[in-house]
Amino acid sequence: MSKNRFRPIMIPEKIKIEVSNGKVKVAGPLGNLEQTICPKVKVVVEESKVLVHALENTKQAASQQGTMRSLIINMVDGVLKEFEKTLIIEGTGYRAQMSGAGLQLFLGYVKPKTVAIPKDVKCELKVVKSAEKGDLTYITLKGIDKQKVGDIAALVKKTKKPDPYKHKGVRYADEILKKKIGKRAVVQA
């Protein structure tokens, strides 16, 4: 088991953390977040730090202690600086645009796919023209809740996974894809 679960979480100056009614509330300059506390864990706020204690001496309680600590750290980081995920749309004629319903993705299907974007997640689009890959559309999702930003990014990526031959589709900006060679290249070799 990891020993990080015992380490205290230091509270920055601009952040206020409150524990009441089985919930942890974190308030900061960018907004407020709230998380329900697991019944096997106790959260204690002292002067400038937060401690997470397991109420039982079991493996499940220990894992919940580490999980709760990570969630509180993510909440503190989120209200201080936003979380960000960047996706790239690559392919001829593939593009994205914002609409009233959310993010519309034109990915070679008969109708455009629409992904609903919540109000607390900001979406920015940027088109970059390159000679070798054509137009690349960069989708940047920002928000204070790490889980929401990751979930929306996963929904956008799921609309069209990149194919292994030409890499056409939606991928994360930091994702490295392994390109397969076609049959013609194998036969000629």
CA pair distance 26, 21, nearest whole angstrom:
14
Residue 113 has a CB neighbour count (10 Å cut-off) of 17
> Is the domain of 94 the same as that of 168?
yes
What is the count of structural domains for the chain? 2
* Three-state secondary-structure class, residue 119: coil
Q: Please identify, among 49, 80, 111, the residue that sits at the C-terminal boundary of a domain.
A: 80
Residue 181 lies in a domain: no
> Is the domain of 100 the same as that of 142?
yes
Q: What is the pLDDT of residues 42-58, one digit of tens each?
A: 999 988 899 999 999 99
pLDDT attached to residue 3:
81
| Residue 68 DSSP class | H
Question: In the numeric block, which tokens belong to residue 12?
Answer: 């920055």
Q: What is the largest CA-CA distance in the chain?
A: 71
The pTM assigned to this predicted structure is 0.86
- Identify the domain containing residue 90 by its residue range: 83-172
pLDDT tier at 188, thresholds 50, 70, 90: low
> Is the domain of 103 the same as that of 59?
no
Q: What is the pLDDT of residues 24-39, one digit of tens each?
A: 999 999 999 999 999 9
> Is the domain of 68 the same as that of 41?
yes
